[in-house]
Amino acid sequence: MAKKEYPNLKGDFRPKQPIISGNLSGLKEKSLSVLKFILGIALLPFVYSSSIAFVSQISQIQKSCQNYFWLGVIVFLVFFLFIWEPEIIYNSGHKLLEIVFNFFRPFVEIAPNLLPIYTIILFILYGILSLIVKDSWLLEYSVFLIGFSIAMHIVFTARALGSKKGDFLKANYIFGFSFVYIINAALLALLLSLVFKQFSFLDFSKSSYLQARDIFNALFKQIFVR
């Protein structure tokens, strides 16, 4: 078919990508980022309250296990900052979770960041080995490795979320990491409550909620009540 010509018109009038559509898409993305930023800020009181509640509960277990847990956290941080970044171990855990949740595609995207796979495996191994080994060293070494693994998961997840480009207002990082941190604190509290009678998941949850509520109430009064 011959090309239609318009002799009275100047310029190239071939169909182009609508500018308005592109602008609306960018506006939609920025609006979503603003919403995530607001939600991320709203989660920060829960990040604080879950941390305080966790420290309060873990202080109830025997002193030796407390020390081994925090030693595991500190040893990881020393390794990470001064000796070697065990990113290959962290990435291997990611791949394992991708294989496990391959049947449910949407969860594959969030599971590696959300679930501390090595921490979960260590709890399972401890549960199995504790049926055979009755010595205290098993619990102490397991708690040390649990501290190491949860610190590794949180640090590398924070770095992965923070390194994403085009994150307007750092909304994905603030919301994503706050959400991951809270879920990990709750999951770790739940698993520890299965091992230690002194560690109460119910008290952890109640304390986290009450402290976060008090923060919101104080902020509300500060802003709206004169």
Q: What is the pLDDT of residues 21-64, one digit of tens each?
A: 556 666 777 888 889 899 999 999 999 999 999 999 999 999 99
Q: Which residues of 127-144 are buried (b: 16+ CB within 10 A; e: fewer)?
A: eeeeeeeeeeeebbebbb
Coil/strand/helix, residue 134: coil
> Is 50 exceeded by the pLDDT of residue 13?
no
> Is 70 exceeded by the pLDDT of residue 4?
no
How confident is the model at residue 101, as a pLDDT? 78
Residues 6+ away with beta carbon under 8 Å from 69: 58, 143, 144, 146, 147
CA separation for the pair 122, 142 (Å, rounded): 7
CA separation for the pair 119, 168 (Å, rounded): 32
CA 107, 88, 50: angle at the middle one, nearest 5?
A: 55
Contact between 158 and 177 (Cβ < 8 Å): yes
pLDDT-above-90 percentage for the chain: 65
Q: Which residue has the higher pLDDT, 75 or 169?
A: 75
Contact between 153 and 89 (Cβ < 8 Å): no
Residues 6+ away with beta carbon under 8 Å from 82: none
CB atoms within 10 A of CB 185: 21
CA separation for the pair 101, 93 (Å, rounded): 12
Please say whether the dihedral angle defined by the alpha carbons of residues 134, 135, 139 and 145, taken in this order, is positive or negative. Answer: negative
CB atoms within 10 A of CB 172: 19
pLDDT in tens, 85-143: 999 999 999 888 888 877 776 777 788 889 999 999 999 999 999 999 989 999 999 99
Phi, psi of 115 (to 5 degrees): -105, 125
How confident is the model at residue 56, as a pLDDT? 97
Average pLDDT, the chain: 87
> Is 70 exceeded by the pLDDT of residue 6?
no
